[in-house]
Each structure stands twice: as structure tokens, then as C-alpha cells.
A and B are shown apart, each in its own frame.
Chain A
């Protein structure tokens, strides 16, 4: 009667384990003191730095494909052999396999984020063929909904956000999400997935040779433009040409997401235990320094022509009013302006009175600085106008001012922000920045582009990021595959083999099963980085299929040896994340919209936005609450709440920095949402209506069906009794009963 519980970690009030992955640039969650790791660096086939401190990093040790242990298990899946070897070594007894229904719900929610329908449950139970489960897995992996689910996992790591004060690329950023979903759906190999997001090219064939012998850039696949949303996401609006944020964000995200190392903390200071120096951080930043944002208008030629015409028309109308209007206000404006100028000190007055073209740069600066003082606002002009003229003026202004709420950026055409190399910036030198402050470059600390573990002379002739990307994604790079397979493992099993998925360093600890991790990494590379094949391999293992409970005797014995279930002697009970909770509610209600792609939606049509009524929310584009929650708007804003409280309550990060591991809290606001949330109330009514229809009025059938919809199993006999007792033979009580199911512990847990 026992589980995978970790008694230390529970409790509604604990500090989040995601503190480790939280938006702080953790100083030594980095590579610090790998020193203690015993593995020594044996002549690598892969070119890496020979920095002394780094020699002991196990993650940089080439992956040597371990022999699959023989004779330890009947399973033919090598994963089970590695796991069983550890059972044997630690004297652990594995739990029984999970029953078919439990397994089906587990794998459906895992792979697609959606529970199985009653029909799917029935079909799986009926199918007694030996590969019944494998067929289900294939069906799920081939579903577009699998891509939606796993894109959400990746986008957490890649710090996707719809809203961020500093994100110039916000309009159209969802097209990057769409690209990620498409990439996963077509099982784009992981190396291509990463390369495309770093360089816009899936492969290293970035040039081609013409018939006449000129090497020219090859055309990338058109849609891979959207992959660069990954880099554009970090760019800030301050000044596109001066932006340092893009490069800083790129280093933080790339090092975390693809290298499993949090380099970000080295931004401000050298840590005493930290072999990653400030210099390394800024060297890596220099890779991305030449990149600038570029706006791409997404329109057909016809639309562009039409837009030009429309603009011209608007300008003409405006000019027709503006001319007379300016004449009307000229005398008043001039007087006000003269009065203000007269207030200024004589030297400033002299500058202001000089025609703009005759001003020196210094004088122009003075004039610009005084602009706010000399600006004559329409309200001030109105104050001094006679009543009739004032009326006329207001009327004219109304005609030319954009309609309320019409302050759209970039005209009426859709746009996407991408990145490109600015060749002027490429020639500039890169420096260490004091405290990461772009305005404080340390001119005596110049850095050359590079990266931690880089070979001594990287070949930059095809570009800096390109050189890095080729190194990073090489099949021989031991970091690359290890970090990735560990993430996939974490998403299936709730915890990585390396527990902290973005820290392959000292504080991350050593992997619980290093040989398995290496075998998976080698397998991943040899399967050409197919993520779907790795998913299949993992979820078809016996280890994945274990029950989450064991007999009390066995559990007690195992718990003494391995209380945290590190060695996976049973499946870990997992709380569903926000998105599958939302999706499960509306799946049961029968109203989930499974459409794939498009902009995000915001559910805050009422309660929460009440406070915002003075300031209409620009991002509340689509109050369509039954889309999959992967499309629910998220992000960070310093002046308003950018995320629905539902997402916040269920631990969704705001996307400011990579979140490789979500916190899992158990809190009262979560309970309140499920108990009293408007959405839950609505879904309960829909669910009840559906039960009434599909059960043909038979309450017992309705109860059975309700359980199948909500938690993918029929009720036990005592549960059925309690349920029927609650219903009191009254179909009108079905709505309240539907509410009960949404509030069951089991509803939000995967067993």
C-alpha cells in the first residue's frame, strides 16, 4: 500500500524545488566544482578545450555505448536491463505492472496531454494481441496532439512567452510556437531542431555553389524563418542596433537548454568554485553579439500593394484636415511656444532659435533635451482658444486621431520578428559588461567569441553562431545527447536520470543510472536524433509500465533502501500540470477545441480583468476558453498581470528565463479554482448534460460513464454506491456530481 512518495518533499508549504530552476541566475548551479566527480577525462575524440578544471567533467566524457547487461530481465527493452541491474545491486524488488486502464490513462496523458475516451479504453481492453499497447503508443505519437503536448515541454525550456515588456518580437511570436509544434509533429531530428533555431538552417549545408563556381548562401526552408523566434524572443525594444539583451538571453537559454549548464550566473561575477568564468560567459555572448532583430511583414504582394494604397488614402485625408487645422492653431501655438522659450535661460534660447540645420550636434542635443518643456500639447492650445474655434479644433482632431483602441503597431499587416547578422556589429569588439549592464562595457576586458569547452581555434568563416551550432549538434558531442535524452526521460518519468535537468554539474549530482543515460545518449545519436523513437523506447519499457503502488511489505523493504524511488522500483505518482488539468476538464465536458496552431487566447474575460477596466487589455485577443491550455497566454509584465491566475496557481512559469522543471505545489488557490472557478462550473454543466444524453437516463450508467470520462476507469463498487447515494435518483444532481469528479484527487494525478 505504498507509493513513490518522497516524505521530505511534500507538504503544501514547502519552498519550491523549482527554486533551482527559478528565474534567478543561479551563480553556482552551473558547472561548479565538477572537481569532485571522479570520472577523468580520457583522450576525447571530440575537440574540446583542455582547460585543466574542465578535465574532470563527466558530461564531457565521450559517450561510450555501454554493453546492455544480459540475463537480468526478461524484457527485450535495454532500458529494463539497465534498471534491473540496479534493482539487483541495491536489492530492490520492482512493483507489479500497472493494470491496463491505469497504463492507458498514464500514457495518453503523458504523450498527448489528453485522457483516453471511453471508446479508446474499451478498445484497448478488448485488444488482447501482444502488441496492443505498442499500437496505442504509435497512434498517440502520430497524433498532432502529441506535438502540442511536447512542444509545451520544450517551450518551457526555451522560455517562450507571449507577453514580456522587453520583447519586441511579441507580435507574431506564436509562429515560433507553431514551428516547434510542426517540427515535433514531423519528428524533426533533434540536431536539426536545435540548428534551425540557432541558425535558421536545419543542416550545415548553408551555402551552395553556382554553376559558375561562386559559393552563395543556400535558401533555407521558408518556414524555418519562424525557428529564429527562439533568438528573437530575447531581443529588447530599447534600440535594435544596440541591443545587448538578445545576446545575453541567447547565452542563458542556449547554455541551459542545450548544454545542460546554467551559465547565466557568470554574468556578473566569477564564483569562487566556478570554472565558468565571467570571461567564458561574455565570450559566448560575443557569438550572438552581431545578431539584430529584423521585422518581416507576412503578406502577399497583393496585400502589400493594398496596404500602401490604404496608407496613401489615409495620409491624404489627414492632410486635408491637418492643413486648415494647423492654420487655425498657428497663432495660439506660436504664442505659447514663444512664452515658453522666453522662460529659458538666454544661452538655451539662442540654441532653440537657431534653425535646426545650423545647430551643432551639441546644440541639437540641448534642443532635444528641452523638447518636453517646449512641446505644446493640444490641451494647452485649447485653453487659450476662443470657444467657437476650440470646438472646431476638437472636431478636427477627432477626425484625424486613430480610433480608440486602434494604436496598432506596424500597420494592419501581420509581422514576425527574426534575427540577422549585422555586419557592422560583427566588426565591433565585445567586452565584459560590469554587472551585465550594457552601458558599462569594461573596455580593458575585451573578449573573443567562443564558448566553454570550445576547441582552441574555432572556425568562424561561416559565422559565429554557425560554428558553435556545428560543434554543439555534432553527434560526437557528449553533452548534447545526454542533456536531451535526460529531458525526455524526465517528461515521461517525472524526474530525470540526472535529477536537475539543466545542471549537469556538482549540484545536479551524478546521474542515478549513468550507464543507462549513456546508453540512451548513444542510442539517440545512432537513431539520428529521432525524438519519437526515444519516446517509444521509453514508454514501451517495463519500467514505464510498473504500477505506482506496491504491496506494503515490498514497499516498506524498498523504502528503506530507496525512499525517493530514485531507482524506479515503482512508477512515480505525478500531479498533472496546469495544461492537462485544463484539457482534461474540457475533454470530459466534451467541449475541448483541439485546433492546432494560431495565436494565444486569454481566459480573463471577467473577474480578473475587472480591475483592468480603465486600460483595455490589448492581448485579450480571443476569449475562447475551450482551446487547449497550451495556447493560453503567458508571460511577464511589470505593469499588469500577464497570466491568468489559473496558470499561476498551477505553477506555470512566466517564461522570463528557461524553466526546465516546473514547481509542483499543492495549494489552496488550486483547490479554490477547482471548487469555485467559473470555468469549472460551466464545464460541470456541460459534463452533466453529456452524461444525461449518453446514459439514456440510467443513473448507474451515467456514474460509470462519468468515471470513465474523468479518470479513465469505472468506479469501484463502493465508489458507485456513494455516487448513487449522492445522486438520490435525481438526474438534476448530475451537475453537482460532475463537479465532484473534477475535484477528485485522482483527477489531477497520474498514477
Chain B
């Protein structure tokens, strides 16, 4: 689990940001674990290739060149909003806010299997030869926390890999703190059942008294002073965190917006409402992992229709989040990003599912200074390779950093003699989608 968090300026050698005036204060990063099919969601292709055999590579680690059958897409696409951007019938609610969204259809990364690709997309580096931190940790490291009672980097939902939470060589202080959308958002946050608040209060007082002689004796030892501070922070968190997860002050129409109380959307809706509440408290980077664990449930090899329930579970909450942020005037300062480790292939290695496709896939961004109603980049006519404005995944990192007022070139640290960078490759921010 994540450790405590550092306040801005408290980390030695921090790359103190912002480097220029930021557009966004917080990022809500929605990560769909397992690989969403761009072809069936935001990157429509006509079915003229369906049933045809095309040159491809094997499944997973089998990178042999081979021929494979393209499978048809059974979705219907509707053009939404003033921008008229087509969105499939799996995401009608997201379609209804498409004018706030910039769709980038030309992302790519190198790795074609889940864990390597998750690691590549979250750290900007392939493999784990070095203990590279996840993207959110860099932000936490560069900006520190803006809220003394809550962490700068929070993760909600089970990730595909613990690497998505790691502070790596930046240290545990900047790692993700996992929050659950339940009663206990952080492990050990609340006293055990049967422990009354007033009793705990008395205990804390008694603890102070009983610690006094020791603390006086070792007064100059900074670790002892830090321990007193750690207890204070723990106590502040005990107060602040439950308030964040307590939705009793949310009116019904807001709960409805997120689909809370509806069977299919309740879980994810709660997670997104929690995300909004964390953003309100100035948490900088809120990562939400959907359908994580193992390969991720978006991994639709057998049947692409297994996307359907996952789309239903996320569509309404996501649109609700964007609407809610907008009606509160928060969308301008909150960057919402939707992504996967990779997309899916036009063909199948079985009959009705799709394979992993890192060569061309879709991410989208909303709010936080992004030009809504935009489509940028394109894959080829079958949906395999990014051919127009291809962007290496690090460009997404660079874009998010820019909106937070951070120069991606300055996101580097010397770790005992070697310069480690968040962004090693790519072309920098995707300027075409920024307003």
C-alpha cells in the first residue's frame, strides 16, 4: 500500500512544479484493465474487411507473422452532439457528452501482452530492470499534496499490476494510496469495532503523556519528531477520509447521475463519485482501475460481446462524472482521461473475440483545458495500425503533465549517477487537442 505523502517542498531534490501556469488541478485517470476494443467503441470501421484474411502476428508472445481472419463489428454508431463524433451503441451516455471529449484514435505502445503493456503504459518504460515509478507518483513527486489531510495520489479499484501504484525510486512517500469506495477507504483507517471515539480521544491524550519522558529525552532525534507527526497525520486522515467516502450529503439527483443504486452501475458509479469528491479536496491524481486483477476483464479473446456488460457498468457513471464536474464548474480544472493498456485487433484467434493490439488504439480526454468535440489521429482502414498522427503512449503522459503545469522534459531525477526520466520517447504533448 502507499505510504504517507509528502507536502510540496518537503521532498529533497523534488522537481518542484508547476513549471508554468497549470490548466488542470486534478486528473481523474480511468484505466480499463485488459484492453478495450477501439473498433467497437470510438473508432468505427466499415465491415468491408470482415471475413477476409489479413497479414497479422500471432497471439500474445507469439509474434510470428501469419494470416488471420478479420471479424465483423456488430455495433451501430451514432453521431452525437454538435461535433457529430460517432460513438458506438455500447457508450450512449458517453456519446451524449462527446462535445466535451477529445478522442485520440492513434495511440500505440510496444508491448503486446497485459503485464508488460500495463508496465509500459504506467511507467513509460518497458520491463522492470529499474524500479521505475508509476506515472501518478511522478505527479505526486513534482507537485506534492495540496491537501494536508489526504494523499496526492489515490488509486481506486483493483489494478492489473501493483506497478500501477509504485513510487519506485521516487520513494514510498509518493506512491499511490489505495482508497476503497467502502466504509474503510484505507487499510487500518478506522479503529476496530467497539472502540468509541471519545475513548480513542482519551487514549491519544494518555499516549501523549506516556510518551512525554521518552520524547523529551530524544527531543533532537528527528525520527522521533517525525513519529509524532505521523500520528497527527494519521489522526487527520481518520477524520478526513471517512468524510470523503461518506455520500450521505449527496442529493439523489447526483447519485442518479452516476447510476448509484442501479445494479449494473452502482459499483463503478460509487468509485467515480468518490473520485469527484477527492478532486474537490484537491487530490492531484486519482487513478481508477476498472475490471482489474489478472489480465483484466476487458480482455475479450473469446467473444467481443463480453465487453457489453463492462460498457454498461461504466458508460453511465463516466458520463455522469463529466456532467457532474461540469455543473459544479470543476470540469475546466479537472482532466478526465480514459485509457487501456492497448486496444484490440480487427481479427480473432478464435471466432468471435479480438486479440491484443498495441499498434493502434484509442484514448480520450475531457476537461482540464482539452478541446472537446475533437477527433485526432487515425488507424488504418481495418483498425490495426495508427497511421495518422501516431502517438507513443508517453505523449499522453506529456499531455497530462502539460495540463498540470509540468514540463515533461523536466520530469527527471538522478538516481545515484544515472538520469531517470518519466518520458523517454515520443513527441511530447498532443497539442492539437488542447485549447
A residues neighboring B (CB under 8 Å): 1-7, 9-16, 19-20, 22-29, 32, 265, 268, 271, 340, 343-345, 348, 365-366, 369-370, 372-373, 375, 377, 379-380, 435-436, 507, 548-549, 573, 575, 607-608, 611-612, 614-615, 637-642, 645, 648-649, 651, 663-673, 675-678, 681, 716, 718-719, 722-723, 726, 736, 739-740, 743-746, 749, 751
Contact = CB atoms under 8 A, between A and B. Distances in A.
Contacts of B199: 736
B243 interface: no
Contacts of A614: 293-294
A676 B191 contact: yes
A13 B66 contact: no
A265 B420 CA distance: 14
Contacts of A5: 218, 220-224
B350 A377 contact: yes
A575 B223 CA distance: 9
Interface stretch (B80-88, B166-174, B372-380, B392-400): B166-174
B169 A3 contact: no
Interface stretch (B209-217, B267-275, B314-322): B209-217
Given A15-B171, A640-B293, A373 B188 contact: no
B4 A718 contact: no
A611 B179 CA distance: 12
Nearest to A548: B218
A16 B350 contact: no
A640 B162 contact: yes
Contact of A677 (B7, B170, B188): B188
B187 A607 contact: yes
Contacts of A15: 11-13, 170-171, 173
A13 B188 contact: no
Given A11-B226, A369-B66, A372-B349, A645 B161 contact: no
Interface centre among A6, A10, A673 (most CB of B within 10 A): A10
B3 A669 contact: yes
A369 B222 CA distance: 61
A666 B350 contact: no
Interface stretch (B36-44, B89-97, B227-235, B357-365): B227-235
B418 A27 contact: yes
Interface in B43-96: 53, 58-59, 62, 64, 66-69
B327 interface: no
A373 B345 CA distance: 14
B146 to A, nearest CB: 15
A372 B356 CA distance: 13
B217 A638 contact: no
Given A11-B222, A12-B226, A744 B214 contact: yes
Interface in B197-216: 199, 202-203, 206-207, 209-211, 213-216
9 contacts: A11-B10, A12-B4, A13-B173, A549-B217, A612-B293, A671-B230, A676-B190, A744-B214, A745-B215
Given A372-B350, A615-B294, A377 B302 contact: yes
Contacts of B210: 719, 722-723, 740, 744
Contacts, number: 260
A7 B220 contact: yes
Contacts of A743: 207
B1 interface: yes
B385 interface: no
Contact of A19 (B160, B161, B169, B189): B169
B237 A668 contact: yes
Contact of B294 (A369, A639, A681): A639
A666 B227 contact: yes
A19 B162 contact: no
A605 B321 CA distance: 34
A14 B68 CA distance: 54
Contacts of A28: 416-418
A379 B129 CA distance: 39
A638 to B, nearest CB: 5
A340 B350 CA distance: 9
A716 B211 CA distance: 12
A19 B416 contact: yes
A722 B186 contact: no
Contacts of B222: 5-7, 9-11
B293 A615 contact: yes
Contact of B131 (A24, A615, A668, A671): A24
B226 A29 contact: no
Contacts of B229: 12, 666
Interface centre among A379, A436, A639 (most CB of B within 10 A): A639
